Homo-oligomer: A and B are copies of this chain.
């Protein structure tokens, strides 16, 4: 049970109400499994405080939520978090990222979502501020070295551009994205399917320490919680909702990354996918997203920035290789040029026959081409200039 004070001044009332809300939310974050469909259905119209008070009545029909009750102690969880260098951020806090409230609606559609009661956050930066310009970068655990390279490069370039990378805590693309961001001037957030004080997978613990040192570890699960398959799926909705768009880099056809992409679609955020060799199973998921699910093909940071920016900003200019002088020539000039020999000079009458143009036109063209230093007159005939011969 949570002890709720009953101070009388208005200021204290407000503080108390807020404290009670925070306690209730901390409690619910341990009692209620993230994304539990029965909870969304049963308590749709209640505030967290009302839900928490109701659950404590142990009324009939609430058995589903009763088994964990004896073990719930939000004050202990908050203290445990504090000791681990973490805090519990709830709606109304300065740090709360309002964009994830989109999950209230997205959750109702699928009956699997819902806004988290709060977010356990470890690390110094302000969560809301870090997420203001942010991209989810997700993909396969068993990625190829190509995928790892692409993730690290894109994440680093986005970081240098001031865009925060958000990913999970897995091996493969997740870890490569974090490492890329940490190597840049930007920062990174890992959203976990376990407590922010739990290292899973354990061999990423050094990486988690670095992320908590420079960026943030975030979870809707209280300290000490272990990850489960369902928690990974529920976690994916947070990654999608918290960011301005999701970039998938290598994903098998069935994968958590495609699940995150699906949440991103449900939240109305753009989904981008990085293509790869068609010979790689790891790119099947990204090709599927582009072909069947209208994801934007992304090959560069410019593509990503364009997709997540307000309409008309950061428009990608695709690399058109520089036009050569020859590209600018009109049809007759090109035909004449095509007919000029490389080695042995040829008279203009011969060039006219080869080009299939009349002599006057060819004579005129040859003079224009000579002015552009593309052809040269030597030994009573025309041949390509050395400049032109060296041109690509």
Contact = CB atoms under 8 A, between A and B. Distances in A.
A254 interface: yes
A313 interface: no
Nearest to A291: B297
Interface string A270-294: 0000111111000110011011100
A232 B29 CA distance: 67
A230 B338 contact: yes
Interface string A349-364: 1001101111111000
A196 interface: no
A80 interface: no
A296 interface: yes
A101 interface: no
A277 B146 contact: yes
Chain copies in the assembly?
A: 2
Interface stretch (A18-26, A131-139, A207-215, A317-325): A317-325
Contacts of A103: none
Contact of A359 (B67, B274, B288, B357): B67
A370 interface: no
Contacts of A299: 278, 284, 287, 291
A128 interface: no
A334 B230 contact: yes
Contact of A66 (B228, B339, B358): B358
A321 B38 CA distance: 29
A52 B357 CA distance: 16
B228 A279 contact: no
Interface of A: 31-33, 36-38, 63-68, 71, 112, 146, 149-150, 228-231, 252-254, 274-279, 283-284, 287-288, 290-292, 296-300, 303, 318-321, 331, 334-335, 338-339, 349, 352-353, 355-361
A358 B67 contact: yes
A204 B290 CA distance: 37
Contacts of A349: 67
Contacts of A230: 331, 334-335, 338
A315 to B, nearest CB: 11
Contacts of A300: 278
Nearest to A300: B278
A320 B32 CA distance: 32
24 contacts: A33-B355, A36-B356, A38-B331, A63-B358, A63-B359, A63-B360, A67-B358, A68-B356, A146-B277, A149-B279, A228-B338, A229-B334, A230-B335, A275-B275, A275-B283, A275-B290, A275-B297, A276-B277, A278-B299, A284-B299, A288-B318, A291-B296, A291-B299, A291-B318
The 3 closest A-B pairs by CB, nearest first: A275-B275, A63-B358, A228-B338
